Amino acid sequence: MSKSIKLESPLYYFHGALNRKSNTENHATGALFNGEAEYGLVIKEATLSAHLNLRGDGRNPSFCSGVADALGLKLPVIPGTYQRSGNTSLYWLGPNEWLVVDIGGDSEKLEAKLRKSLTGHIAVVDVSGGQTCINLRGPGVATVLKKSSLYDFEHWDNATAVSGRAVQTNFAKASAIVSNNSDGSYNLVIRRSFADYVAQWLLDAGEEFGCRIEAE
Amino acid sequence: MSANRLLTHTGTPLDFTFNGKAYQGIAGDTLASALLANGVNVVGRSFKYARPRGIFGHGAEEPNGIIQLGSGAGTVPNLKATQVELYQGLEASSVNGWPSVNFDVMGIIGAFGRLMPPGFYYKTFMYPKKLWMTYEHFIRKAAGLGATPVEADPDSYDKLNQHCDVLVVGAGPAGLIAAREAARTGARVIIADEQSEFGGSLLASKQTIDGRQATSWVTSLVAELEACSNVQLLPKSTVFGYYDHNFLTILERRTDHLGLTAAHGVRQRMHRVRAAQVVLATGAFERPLVFSHNDIPGVMLASSVSTYVNRYGVAPGNKLVLFTTNDNAYQTALDWHETGRDVVAVIDTRSNPSGDIVAAAKAKGISVIAGHGLIEAQGNQRVKRALIAPINALGTEVTGPVRRLDCDLIACSGGWSPAIHLSSHTGAKPVWDESIVGFRPGESKQQERSAGACRGTFDLIGCLAEGATAGAEAAKMSGYGEGIAQFPCSAVEEFVEQPQQALFLVPHTKSTSRAPSQFVDFQLDVSASGIELAVREGFESVEHVKRYTALGFGTDQGKLGNINGMAILANALDQTIAETGTTIFRPSYTPTTFGAIAGRDVNNLFDPERYTAMHRWHVEQGAEFEDVGQWKRPWYFPQNNETMQEAVNREGLAVRNTVGILDASTLGKIDIQGPDAAEFITRMYTNSYLKLAPGKCRYGVMLKEDGMIFDDGVCACLGDNHYLMFTTTGGAAGVLAWLELWQQTEWPDLKVYFTSVTDHWTTATVTGPNARKVIAKVCSDIELSNEDFSFMDWRDGTVAGVKARIFRISFTGELSYEVNVPAQYGRHVWEALMAAGEEFKITPYGTETMHVLRAEKGFIIVGQDTDGSMTPADMNMDWVVGKNKAFSFVGKRSLSRSDSVRENRKQLVGLKTLQGSDVLPEGAQVVFDAKQKIPMSMQGHVTSSYFSASLGHSIALAVVKGGHSRLGQIVHCPLADGSTIAAEIVSSVFYDPKGERHHV
């Protein structure tokens, strides 16, 4: 097929969306965030990425070392944490379940790599089409998270460049995997079919700070 | 300057109207203080007797100043004037007082209340039943419970989920000190107070703390808290509910003080707080004294008079009579004296009051009349005089002649009742304490403690000490600090008080039943005699008396009247108050708007709408949508003003005659991997998957343990130990949970993992005689011939340049290819298929046509043709049940229960109406004898019914008792309009019964 293939990420139709009241009283007063004083909440959708759901026995040393070999990452076995190296993050989702997100990565190659270094009862499932990773930054983020989730994100220790906290939880009336970043921003992995709802929710929740959605 | 405004008090003037009349207040006023400043006596009418009522209190306890704020969509009913901050242009009216507060029809009728004794609802208005609506209308109108807006609420509300180590409720002296102690430890602290300013009782206090004015002490302490990054201060925020697991709800009024307009952002915010520890410092309410005509405007709480004088600079009258049972209230006489207005006398029920403050009052020349009761107030729309008389030491009898004192203001104090409401919400049973003449909070049921006046500690130094201890202790229990207060005790000058007298009903020269009404609950006109009458009529339980008399039913929820009412009840029952007990308070502490409870979960955010990758294409094509669970699925694609039936006819014929395309992305998809995957799947479905080869698919039915159909779908073998299970759109989440449940709890030994891939794959179903030709145009790497790629096979290949997986599954009975691609390619592939199909007039169709096409083939839809009580045999699907599986399967045993195998079960059949143009309504009942008298014997019902354009007549699926052996019989469907449609029982497969069309 010579015709070019148009790809649509889950938030494709929201790139460039804005929501800001001109007479908003609660202007974001925090530090300028990338010079964007008028937008207290900036949502950036990552480029299309590889998302793989990984199942296996976290107590099995060969599984742990296999994952480490394939991804160059330590398998996080502490609940509610993730490990990161470069563009690749590995989120703990359960005692035998993880999510690999490789920003901009190729899911087929990554799956093959994992399958090659893992043996025994494991599962690797490509879910790249079904979810997307978005970044929330700005002085309004903490409040918007409080509006959206019952979870206590304030209680988390700060993230480092290579690890941080992550939780799979309710987000408004959808679900999300929420994680923190070392720069104080947060990442959300959301499901594609709920993306419109989540985008509308965030634009609404961020209105008091000024909110916009951008693409990476 | 208004008549009652003290010259010492100035501020920005604010205009407002009340009941249509213009007034002026000043910034910082509440509506109540502004009305008092303007000398407005009557602010409402009472519930039963329509008696004129004036402002009585200064906070959440206010029973009379119940107002309607604004008009139109933003109007708010039933606010307390004492809690409404004044703003420029405020408009308010009384909720009660039809037709007007000053000229009241019912007030003139007067004796109307005689028709409404306690229990009047039960006695008067129950019969005849059909008149209840009339009665209710009349009562509601007369009661004036306010008007709800009829338009949509223009305001915005939201919710915040908060977490903290220590939540301090109330920012009076105890709360502020508690917050400071907790904050010092580094704990996360939230402190909330319902008023616009922190300080509580100190805001109206003349006391000094650490040598400073109380108000300035508050200012610096608040500044100290504001500087702490770990402290969140929430003024204008009422903690209105305390629930299990230390979950509390706070209503923050963010813009109410700016006026009724939607332009200011979020009007109210509900904070849903999960607190590790809670300090309740909610203060106390002053208790009114119950004497005859104690409801005439001009009778107020002593502390309220002081608050209006000291905090708002409003003296609500000229000549004050103070009536008290305790030392504390003498402060009001001193405050009043300082305004330069006349203190006529202090009436003290105690025979020899001798505390410091009594002496201070006497020293100012204030006349103190001891051993007396104020037995009756007189006046019409304003107090004109007080009747006083000597009373005995027990406070039960008048013992001497009655004297008259001219006055226009009566301040009364019967002591203080701790505000135990929040502690009571947790289930802690309040404990009566004779020493404070009030209920203290009961034993904690949660991680909470009370401090200060709400615990029965009324002296300032005690409040400060308790607050400090509570704050430090709460912090420690949440993991911070040593648990010992660190700041030095504040130095406070305080009067030493003498004991108060417990007096709940002031005696009159006449008996309670003969004396002019002595009101206990102002809002609902519950009087002392009414409570005694309830006892004479046989009521003993406090909960029953409450409901019979309506004591505490008003919007003030008994904050003023409850203790007096219970004490009067106890006396009438000849019990102690402890024996009588109290009713339990429940949330909400004060009325809460529904808007705040709903938050942002309204309109488009009320419930998520799930979209497929092609959603916007469907929208652009003008599709009508149908809700399937949370999904929006195209229902049909009308063209040129087609009706739905016309569109469905066209879409269906296109599929049968050439080719159609359906967005099937919403079907649930579960990836299953593991060495025991086939065994596990075989245990869940009724048929076997052990021999399903890679590249092959199989249709299966899933049962619950009771043998009833729960879901159905196709399962494909993707490779060794790797399967893909399709579920119904609505059943996806339930099926995944069902698989996990069985794997985790029953068969953990089976090695198998499940992962939802519903959102990953987008599915375009190309179906119809020309489907192969369409696919061939966009896919060159799959051999598409029927021999190479047969019905119920799947293949990997490339479609329109995208790696795809194609299934030959058919839900239409036609040649079908279900093209699956990762969702980011969904729209591209869909549009490529549309372009490829153009020469064949490829027709997008929606769920309605899908339903018609599958019904023509007799394919069931779980949840439409089944209802959780249907076995596979009932659905004529015995062929899908594997009888010889080694392990069994979920539901198998139930299939041989006597009820599952009995004769005459409802069985799936086709119905063909005798008149082909008649379309049976879905849900229509099926009877065998159309002439049978009502009640007729119901024999079944129609589950699916459509007009089939392909067949040229209507078709229906129905479940009919013993239906499988009744083929050819005529049944009847009686309709709601009295007509009957006759139909013949036929096979449920109407179209291509041999299934030749999808095998090509």
Report the pLDDT value the prediction gives residue B585, as an integer from 0 to 100: 87
Q: Which CATH class, in words, describes the domain spanning A50-128?
A: alpha beta
Res. B778: pLDDT tops 60: yes
Res. B140: pLDDT tops 70: no
Report the pLDDT value the prediction gives residue B115, as an integer from 0 to 100: 52
Report yes or no: B809 and B793 within 8 Å, Cβ to Cβ.
no
Res. B338: pLDDT tops 80: yes
Residues of chain A within CATH 3.30.70.1520 domain(s) are 50-128
* Superfamily, domain A12-47+130-215: Probable tRNA modification gtpase trme; domain 1 (3.30.1360.120)
Q: Which residue of A has its CA nearest to B162?
A: A146
| A154 CB within 8 Å of a chain B CB | yes
Contact list, B820 vs chain A (CB under 8 Å)? none
Residues 6+ apart with CB under 8 A from B922: B942, B943, B944, B945
pLDDT above 90 coverage of chain B, percent: 83
Q: What's the CA dihedral at B345, B404, B313, B361 to 10 degrees?
A: 0
Res. B129: pLDDT tops 70: no
Tokens of B466: 């308790």
pTM metric for this prediction? 0.92
pLDDT above 70 coverage of chain A, percent: 91
For residue B868, which of B891, B885, B836, B838 has the smallest C-alpha distance? Answer: B891
pLDDT in tens, B824-852: 999 999 999 999 999 999 999 999 999 99
Mean of the pLDDT values across residues B751-769? Answer: 98
pLDDT in tens, A82-128: 999 999 999 999 999 999 999 999 999 999 999 999 999 999 999 99
Angular region, B112: left φ>0, alpha ψ -120 to 50, beta rest: alpha
Alpha carbon of A194: minimum distance to chain B alpha carbons (Å):
5
Please, what is the Cα angle at B33 between B31 and B35, to 5 degrees?
A: 65
| A129 CB within 8 Å of a chain B CB | yes
Res. A20: pLDDT tops 90: no
**Cβ contact (<8 Å) for B608 and A197?**
yes
| CB nearest A196 (choices: B611, B671, B823) | B611
pLDDT in tens, B413-459: 999 999 999 999 999 999 999 999 999 999 999 999 999 999 999 99
Report the pLDDT value the prediction gives residue B1, as an integer from 0 to 100: 47
Report the pLDDT value the prediction gives residue B509, as an integer from 0 to 100: 96
Residues 6+ apart with CB under 8 A from A200: B604, B605
For testing the chain A interface, which of B188, B755, B757, B780 should be mutated: the one with the most A CBs within 10 Å? B755
Res. B118: pLDDT tops 80: no
Alpha carbon of A72: minimum distance to chain B alpha carbons (Å):
24
Contact list, A131 vs chain B (CB under 8 Å)? 759-760
Report the pLDDT value the prediction gives residue B154, as an integer from 0 to 100: 84
pLDDT in tens, A69-95: 999 999 999 999 999 999 999 999 999
Contact list, B824 vs chain A (CB under 8 Å)? 7-9, 48, 128-129
pLDDT in tens, B165-202: 999 999 999 999 999 999 999 999 999 999 999 999 99
Q: Which structural domains are found in chain B, ordered by start?
A: 13-143 (3.10.20.440), 156-284+418-477 (3.50.50.60), 288-414+496-503 (3.50.50.60), 510-584+591-596 (1.10.10.1100), 615-665+761-853 (3.30.1360.120), 668-756 (3.30.70.1400)
Please, what is the Cα angle at B532 between B531 and B534, to 5 degrees?
A: 65
Res. B263: pLDDT tops 80: no
Contact list, A121 vs chain B (CB under 8 Å)? 674-675, 751, 753
Report the pLDDT value the prediction gives residue B111, as an integer from 0 to 100: 41
Contact list, A150 vs chain B (CB under 8 Å)? 161, 272, 274
Report yes or no: B811 and B996 within 8 Å, Cβ to Cβ.
no
Q: How confident is the model at residue B110 (pLDDT cuts 50, 70, 90)?
A: very low
Report the pLDDT value the prediction gives residue B48, as an integer from 0 to 100: 76
Contact list, B828 vs chain A (CB under 8 Å)? 5-8
pLDDT in tens, B954-999: 999 999 999 999 999 999 999 999 999 999 999 999 999 999 999 9
Report the pLDDT value the prediction gives residue A23, as an integer from 0 to 100: 45
- Chain B contacts in chain A segment 180-199 (CB below 8 A): 191-197
Res. B139: pLDDT tops 70: no
**Cβ contact (<8 Å) for B823 and A121?**
no
**Cβ contact (<8 Å) for A193 and B674?**
no
Report the pLDDT value the prediction gives residue B144, as an integer from 0 to 100: 53
Pairing type for strands B697-703 and B21-26 reads unpaired
Angular region, B152: left φ>0, alpha ψ -120 to 50, beta rest: beta
Res. B864: pLDDT tops 50: yes
HEC string of chain A equals CCCCCCCCCCCHHHCCCEECCCCCCCCCCCCCCCCCCCCCEEEEECCCCEEEEEECCCCCHHHHHHHHHHHCCCCCCCCCEEEEECCEEEEEEECCEEEEEECCCCHHHHHHHHHHHCCCCCEEEECHHHEEEEEEECCCHHHHHHHHCCCCHHHCCCCCCCEEEEEEEEECCEEEEEEECCCCCEEEEEEHHHHHHHHHHHHHHCHHHCEEEEEC
| CB nearest B161 (choices: A9, A130, A149) | A149
Mean of the pLDDT values across residues B92-106? Answer: 64
CA distance B469 to B464: 9
pLDDT above 70 coverage of chain B, percent: 94
Report the pLDDT value the prediction gives residue B661, as an integer from 0 to 100: 98
| CB nearest A193 (choices: B158, B611, B821) | B611
Report the pLDDT value the prediction gives residue B95, as an integer from 0 to 100: 83
Report the pLDDT value the prediction gives residue B145, as an integer from 0 to 100: 65
| CB nearest B802 (choices: A5, A10, A146) | A5
| A59 CB within 8 Å of a chain B CB | no
Mean of the pLDDT values across residues A178-207? Answer: 97
Mean of the pLDDT values across residues B888-911? Answer: 96
Q: What is the mean pLDDT of chain B?
A: 92
pLDDT above 90 coverage of chain A, percent: 87
The larger pLDDT score, comparing residue A38 to residue A149, is at A149
| A127 CB within 8 Å of a chain B CB | yes
Report the pLDDT value the prediction gives residue B805, as an integer from 0 to 100: 98
Mean of the pLDDT values across residues A165-190? Answer: 98
Report the pLDDT value the prediction gives residue A1, as an integer from 0 to 100: 42
Contact list, A200 vs chain B (CB under 8 Å)? 604-605
| CB nearest B610 (choices: A8, A55, A194) | A194
Contact list, B158 vs chain A (CB under 8 Å)? 147, 205
Residues of chain A within CATH 3.30.1360.120 domain(s) are 12-47+130-215
